[in-house]
Amino acid sequence: MTVGGEATATGNGQTVCVTGAGGYIGSWIVKLLLEKGYAVRGTVRNPDDAKNAHLRGLAGAAERLVLCKADLLDGDALRAAIAGCHGVFHTASPITDDPEEMVEPAVRGTRYVIDAAAESGTVRRVVLTSSIGAVAMDPSRGPDAVVDESCWSDLEFCKKTKNWYCYGKTVAEREAWEAAAARGVDLVVVNPVLVQGPALQPAVNASLTHVLKYLDGSAKTYANAVQAYVHVRDTAAAHVLVFESPAAAGRYLCVADGAVLHREDVVTILRKFFPEYPIPSKSVVLIGHRSDDIALLRPSLSLFQPCQHTR
């Protein structure tokens, strides 16, 4: 699927809310929105926490960024942050394999955001950050099947393998679609693959540990598996584009063209640039892992002009 039609005018005069504004993807979305002239309300757990200082240092933040205290399980706080906004980017989500900490906050938080958007009377579109984890986990899919936006992860398989992150992202996205249909909210979903690239926030997030573990010695082997990647700036740009494009609808897989690598390719690249680090040289087979799923992705965000990243 591709997005057709002209994008709407950039953000001058429009106010949008970004939940999880201090996170890896959320911070980049805030940055791009400010650069385009939007006024941004970013929800964070504690606006005064030093870990959110990077947001206040962004260009345009002093004039057009307000940090709002909100938690995924605080519907009233989310409603207050979203009231009067023209759009919502819902990026906030737990990232854990603890089922109690992952599933309920992800699902309830998504429902609260959709309800708040419906009640605002001003929100024209909600853009939800989902995940490839809500798409690719299905052991019954044939090895030659193409993975596209019509695919969903198998919830029973996620439970059986205790992959509570993929389970939570899947049920949260399904909840978003059901709630949006019931409340008449225009919803578009971006499903990124593994996001990499420079972090604006000071802390290392879960996505970046995918590479860091091969550099700090915590990973002694690498998996005999493939992985698709996308740059964090491109991921943020995808969110902004589907918000601004009137014809955008449904789900969009977000993956860089040609960026599907075997783990051996990853460690080889790292070894070339960082020979002094303890990068593993042995592979291990992951039991129950489908190493071919990601290799047959059909990206639906082919509408983007390629972004050039030199480092």
CATH of the domain at 140: 3.40.50.720
In a domain, 97, yes or no: yes
Q: Per the domain annotation, does 109 fall within a domain?
A: yes
Range of the domain at 96: 15-195+230-255
Tell me whether residue 283 is in a domain. Answer: no
Return the higher-pLDDT residue of 55 and 296.
55
So what's the pLDDT on residue 3? Answer: 56
Q: Contact, 91 vs 16, CB < 8 A? A: no
Higher pLDDT pick, 39 / 258: 39
- Is 65 within a domain? yes
User: What global pTM score does this model have?
Assistant: 0.90
In a domain, residue 302? The reply is: no
Q: Are strands 250-254 and 125-129 parallel, antiparallel or unpaired?
A: unpaired
Segment of 155-164, 279-288, 291-300 carrying the highest mean pLDDT: 155-164
As given in the structure block, the two tokens for residue 143 are 């090895």
The dihedrals phi and psi of 23, each to the nearest 5 degrees, come to: -80, 180
Q: Total domain count for the chain?
A: 1
Catalytic residues: 169
